[in-house]
A and B are shown apart, each in its own frame.
Chain A
């Protein structure tokens, strides 16, 4: 018991000895005095930029922090638009990941800089302070844009909220969608006015980047005003913008795009007017060349600090050591391009008028004369890549089937029936998986795989559409080196081709709605010139005259090439098709289809189309494990999984996260949630 007394005394002494006034700054938190100098600002900016909601190679509709910063890109909104398909997703992929809290974190950090920097003007010098404030305002604008296109109107906060404020003060209601767009545009105008034409470091903003981004933002605002649906709660237009404002925004978009004319140019380093393969390679290189004059704003990666896994997840299966095969452009998308045989419906024609298949002498023959941009965007059958060749073949006709005898279509046009419903299909050898096949032994003694190493297999893997993608894939990364967490290809967030397409679209929207010129430029002719500049670089068929961008009715679905692309006029239909062809797989089309408000009609019980090559074993010879010389037929049909896609109207806006409404009852929910 005595011992206890001593312990108590000791304890008391121990407690008392710490009675010092505790007013030293915490040493584990970086202080303002360490931040507001050149090195500190560089670190702060690096942290801000890394938090920007850029939908890059680490964006996902499935995992990650609010959908960002993940390796797993298997589900992306481009599965809903008809660009891409994969075997994991047989229906609508909801990209809503409740991005909210992290957005407001970036906004708060930006606001903090905007508020604090002027106090350090003496030590940092005024020009630097102005520049960094402009930079912070760009990042804030970028983040608000990510929020406004998800939710419509959101709370606007341009000051750092104080910890001591009452809860009531901290709860900010949603502003109207128009107010948010206006806030973004005013931030961007400030950035344009206060920054020079060169970035402080690679990957950081400058005046021209802000102008390029402004053309995108204003185009969105204009489209929302013209095509959006208004949703008003308590007098605040949470979704939609008054229609009368449309032309004003399109004009801003046009002027911003025009402003950077001559500062960037379309990538044409290996472009050739005659060599289609060179032009195709030129198109593919623009996404990989670090010195491309077309890149406006890009995000870099490095092996130690920040890597992505695009090559591993998106390469054709036999060109990667793991994953692969999630990059399957649909036939609907491929059919948009020039240089392919097509029928009156605008669909690829691989049969003769009597309904029997055309027999091709090699697997490449069907696409021999295709538009170079298609070859630069998609890996076509037999295309050399990574020192290998894309090996696409659904199955092989056994040697007793003679290519000279016509074969009737295996399943009726437009049917979703299985091939096995046709007894003649018993003559086809096929495999369920690409990497464990039973080879066919030919009468020459050589053996070949019944199905291509890159699919499509009878179990719908390797590819579900009969194609693989090429855009952004690194051809120098050998198959064995293609692993998860090893890719560092920079993500191009804004490139000049998009700006030209923004400019053409804004110009035609204005022209067809009563404005024939802006700043003395004839808008119709300007739209025509921009579209032809894009097409010329792509190696596509040029528009013959500005008159083609007409305001007559668009092609009705099923009546011509690209007729499934919905638009109010033929001219805008042409521009929207061009945008789809040029900017596919760059994560933008989903948002475009939302701003045009066409996706719910265009993607409604939609089944993507597929192209299946079949080889004739008779007369074939394997030249390489992944290339069989021989005669081929091609069957265009609906997806064999019978996967149907529907985008409901509620997805034009995402649901405000319910946790946010619980902590801020002033937030009103969007329609249909």
Chain B
């Protein structure tokens, strides 16, 4: 009986010790950072996170058919990740409000900066500063221009625009007061468009506002103006 017990203990010990190997693989420490730039060299305005567009990474030095990992971006179109394994990656920005781009291969080592060049579907620009009307509504002026499609791609029709109003700086299609409804009738390009909020704004509050417009493509994400603030006294 004792013998059997000892033998069993021996086997149990063997199987436990069997996997004792030191995992000394180095922790990921490479940094990838950069900005999504539009065709005029400005930061592409987006939403915080992956809602508007995302950076897709495929680590080619690890596998020839890698599982893609997607990075969040910031609202101003920049992104950073400082916990990546050094190596060769295929990078692209996907599912955003711009004409599809071609993936590029990049060697990531130490701190690597990689900017993406995209052609947004629509360029939106403020005209002047937002104003507060006498009945405390926010009024803004903007214009838009739709960019031409690259060869072999069709230019999707613009579908609607909206004035996004929020009390936090992360204003956008992920964070807004829906009271200011969608406008689906589009005026001509390059004309001055005025938008006013539906209801009066609350006293002593700072509002963050931007205008977004989207087109009827696969993903229906918004192109935005920059964020401006209006303080109601």
Known: A600-B220, A601-B159, A604-B220. A414 touches B198 (CB 8 A): yes
Q: Which of B97-105, B106-114, B180-188 contacts A (4 or more CB under 8 A)?
A: B180-188
- B198 touches which of A413, A607, A672 (Cβ 8 Å): A413
A558 within 8 A of B: yes
CA–CA, A557 and B199, complex, Å: 19
CA–CA, A412 and B180, complex, Å: 11
B178 within 8 A of A: yes
Min CB distance B227 to A, Å, is 18
B49 within 8 A of A: no
A46 within 8 A of B: no
CA–CA, A514 and B24, complex, Å: 73
B185–A414 touching, CB < 8 Å: no
Name the CB-closest residue of B to A563: B184
CA–CA, A556 and B186, complex, Å: 11
B178–A416 touching, CB < 8 Å: yes
- B185 touches which of A412, A556, A672 (Cβ 8 Å): A556
Name the CB-closest residue of B to A600: B220
Min CB distance B135 to A, Å, is 13
B53 within 8 A of A: no
Min CB distance B184 to A, Å, is 5
Name the CB-closest residue of A to B179: A414
**Chain A neighbourhood of B178, CB < 8 A:** 414, 416, 607, 638
Interface residues of B in 189-208 (CB under 8 A from A): 198-199
A649 within 8 A of B: yes
A159 within 8 A of B: no
**Chain A neighbourhood of B182, CB < 8 A:** 557-558
A412–B179 touching, CB < 8 Å: yes
Interface of B is mostly: loop
A556–B199 touching, CB < 8 Å: no
A557–B179 touching, CB < 8 Å: no
A513 within 8 A of B: no
B177 within 8 A of A: yes
Interface residues of B in 149-182 (CB under 8 A from A): 159, 173, 177-182
Interface string of B217-230 (1 = CB under 8 A from A): 01110000000000
B218–A412 touching, CB < 8 Å: no
CA–CA, A607 and B181, complex, Å: 12
B173–A605 touching, CB < 8 Å: yes
Q: How many A-B residue pairs have CB under 8 A?
A: 38
Interface string of A633-669 (1 = CB under 8 A from B): 0000010000000001100000000000000000000
Min CB distance A455 to B, Å, is 23
A446 within 8 A of B: no
Name the CB-closest residue of A to B185: A556
Known: A414-B198, A414-B199. A672 touches B177 (CB 8 A): no
A648–B199 touching, CB < 8 Å: no
Min CB distance A418 to B, Å, is 13
A416–B177 touching, CB < 8 Å: yes
B81 within 8 A of A: no
CA–CA, A600 and B159, complex, Å: 12
Known: A414-B181, A557-B182. A649 touches B198 (CB 8 A): no
- B219 touches which of A414, A556, A558, A648 (Cβ 8 Å): A648
A50 within 8 A of B: no
Min CB distance B169 to A, Å, is 19
B61 within 8 A of A: no
Known: A648-B219, A649-B219. A413 touches B185 (CB 8 A): no
CA–CA, A550 and B185, complex, Å: 20
In this complex, the member of B177, B178, B185 whose beta carbon has the largest number of chain A beta carbons within 10 angstroms is B178
B147 within 8 A of A: no
**Chain A neighbourhood of B159, CB < 8 A:** 601
Name the CB-closest residue of A to B183: A558
Min CB distance A81 to B, Å, is 17
CA–CA, A600 and B221, complex, Å: 11
Name the CB-closest residue of A to B198: A414
**Chain A neighbourhood of B220, CB < 8 A:** 600-601, 604, 649
Interface residues of A in 312-356 (CB under 8 A from B): none
B216 within 8 A of A: yes
CA–CA, A605 and B179, complex, Å: 13
**Chain A neighbourhood of B218, CB < 8 A:** 649, 672
A302 within 8 A of B: no
A415 within 8 A of B: yes
**Chain A neighbourhood of B198, CB < 8 A:** 412-414
Interface residues of A in 274-318 (CB under 8 A from B): none
CA–CA, A412 and B177, complex, Å: 11
Interface pairs (27), CB distance under 8 Å: A412-B179, A412-B199, A413-B179, A413-B198, A413-B199, A414-B177, A414-B178, A414-B179, A414-B180, A414-B198, A414-B199, A415-B177, A415-B179, A556-B184, A556-B185, A557-B182, A557-B184, A558-B182, A558-B184, A600-B220, A601-B159, A604-B220, A605-B173, A607-B178, A649-B219, A649-B220, A672-B218
Interface residues of B (CB under 8 A from A): 159, 173, 177-182, 184-185, 198-199, 216, 218-220
Nearest 4 CB-CB pairs, A to B? A414-B179, A412-B199, A649-B218, A556-B184
